[in-house]
Each structure stands twice: as structure tokens, then as C-alpha cells.
Amino acid sequence: MFSPGFSANVWNCRLGHPSSRVLSLLASNKKVVCTSRPLNFQCQACPLEKSSHLSVGLTDHQTFAPLELVFSDVWGPAPLLSSDGFCYFVIFMDAHMKFIWFYPLVLKYDVFNVFHQFQVFVEQQFSRKIKFVQTN
């Protein structure tokens, strides 16, 4: 398999931020051609990609059906734009099903419009209304 030569930083981003050991293995097996040493690169996104986050905090509200409680969080601005120009992201999580919907945003003030689209979509899917939304 031939691949064009790129720096270790470029390969790291294109391959989804693998460890430097994995990148070195790919380079030594000639699966990728690195123009710089795979062990000596600095990626600002790697610590963020590999970090863990605390789960949604405990709530005293019990749910017995979908859409009784939906958690929402907005993140951004991202340090780099996505390939489609997104720099903010919003998630919605149903407390009963633990299902997560993820929406990329170009501008932060798009959250309200995206929430409205989400609301219409899930209320049609489940034939129920959203009862409560909890955000930070």
C-alpha cells in the first residue's frame, strides 16, 4: 500500500489521533510515509481527544418514559474548525434511554434553531412531548 509522505502531525490527524507507538508501527511497516519522526511530534488535540469527562451528574428526577428529561450541553468554540466549518457542538441526551443526539454548529446562536429541529424530530419519532430540558 503506497501513501504519499506527510509529517507525523498530518498522519496523526488523518488517522484519528493514534498513539505515537501505533504511528511508528505504521511507518516501520511502510503503511504510511512520514517525513518527520513519528515519536517526535506535538498535537494539541491529542490530550483533548484522550481525556475523559465526568458523566452527567446524578439527578433526583426518575424517568419512566422517553423524553421526560433531556439533558443538553453546548461545547465550543473548538480550537480548529471542522472540515465543514463547524466550531460549536450541541448534544441532547435522553435521561431514560441514555441515547445521545449530536449536532455540529457553525455559530453558537444556532442552538435554538437546532433545538427546535431536534424537538420536532424526537416528538414525532416517539409520539410524545419533551417534558423537561436540563442544561448547564
- The verdict on 36 and 82 lying in the same domain is no
Is position 57 within any domain? no
80 plus 120 within the same structural domain? yes
pLDDT, residue 1, reads 44
Give domain status of residue 13, yes or no: yes
**Is residue 93 domain-resident?**
yes
| 118: in domain | yes
> pLDDT confidence of 39, banded at 50, 70, 90?
low
pLDDT at 44 over 70: no
Q: Across all residues in the chain, what is the average pLDDT? A: 82
Rounded to 5°, angle at Cα 90 from 85 and 92: 145
Q: Which of 24-28, 48-52, 74-78 has the lowest mean pLDDT?
A: 48-52
- The reply to whether 59 falls in a domain is no
70-127: pLDDT as tens digits: 999 999 888 888 888 889 999 999 999 889 999 999 999 999 999 999 999 999 999 9
Q: Are 128 and 73 found together in one domain? A: yes
Q: Do 45 and 75 fall within a single domain?
A: no
Is the same domain home to 77 and 110?
A: yes
Instruction: Quote the number of domains for the chain.
Output: 2
Are 96 and 39 part of one and the same domain?
A: no
Q: What pTM was computed for the model? A: 0.57
**Residue 130 and residue 88 share a domain:** yes
Q: Is residue 126 part of a domain?
A: yes
pLDDT band at 27 (very low <50, low <70, confident <90, very high): confident
User: What per-residue confidence (pLDDT) applies to 74?
Assistant: 92
Can you give the residue range of the structural domain that contains 111?
69-135
**76 and 43 belong to one structural domain:** no
Structural domain contains residue 100:
yes
CB-based contact 96:69 (threshold 8 Å)? yes
Q: What is the pLDDT of residue 9?
A: 78
Least Cα distance to 32 among 49, 53, 63, 10 occurs for 10
Cell output for 119? 424537538
